[in-house]
Chain A
Amino acid sequence: MQNILDGIELKEQNTDFEVRSLDTICINESNLQHPWWYNLKYLFAGILFGILLVKAEVISWFRIQEMFRMQSFHMYGVIGSAVVVGAISIWLIKKFKIKTIHGEAIELHSKKFNKGQIIGGLIFGFGWALTGACPGPLFALIGNGATVIIAVLLSAVAGTWVYGLIRDKLPH
Chain B
Amino acid sequence: MSFIEWIRQPWPWYVSGPLIGLTVPILLLLGNKSFGISSSLRHICAACFPANIPFFKYNWKKELWNLFFVTGILFGAIIASNLLGNYQPIQLNPKLVSDLNKYGITDYARLIPTQLFNWPALLTLKGFIMMIGGGFLVGFGTRYAGGCTSGHSIMGLSNLEWPSLIATICFMAGGFIMSNLILPFILQL
List, in ascending order, chain A residues with CB within 8 A of B58's CB.
23
**Interface check B104, CB cutoff 8 A:** no
A residues within 8 A CB of B14?
77, 81
Decide if B111 touches A60 in the complex (CB within 8 Å). yes
Contact of A130 among B28, B108, B178 (CB under 8 A): B178
CA distance in complex: A104, B171 (Å): 34
Partner pick for B70 among A46, A93, A141, CB 8 A cutoff: A46
Give the A interface residue count (CB, 8 A): 127
A47 touches B65 (CB 8 A): no
A7 CB–B CB distance under 8 Å:
no
Interface pair A143/B146, CB less than 8 Å apart: no
Q: Find chain B residues with CB under 8 A from A49 CB.
A: 20, 23, 69, 72-73, 76
Q: Given A77-B13, A129-B178, A86 and B142 touching (CB < 8 A)?
A: no
Q: How far is the CB of B44 from chain A (nearest CB, A)?
A: 5
Interface string of B38-62 (1 = CB under 8 A from A): 1111101100010101011010001
Please name 12 further chain A to chain B contacts, defined as beta carbons within 8 Å, in addition to the given A81-B17, A139-B71, sorted by A numbering.
A26-B151, A28-B62, A40-B68, A49-B20, A52-B76, A55-B7, A61-B113, A62-B100, A100-B31, A120-B142, A127-B138, A143-B75
Taking Cβ atoms with an 8 Å cutoff, the residues of B that contact A are 7, 10-11, 13-14, 16-42, 44-45, 49, 51, 53, 55-56, 58, 62-66, 68-81, 84-85, 90, 92-93, 95-96, 100, 108, 110-114, 116-119, 121-122, 129-164, 166-180, 182-183, 186
Report 24 cross-chain contacts, Cβ distance below 8 Å, ordered by A residue: A28-B62, A30-B32, A42-B33, A45-B30, A47-B75, A51-B77, A83-B153, A85-B24, A86-B22, A86-B154, A111-B156, A111-B161, A113-B166, A117-B163, A117-B166, A122-B174, A127-B133, A136-B73, A136-B148, A155-B139, A156-B136, A158-B135, A160-B45, A163-B144
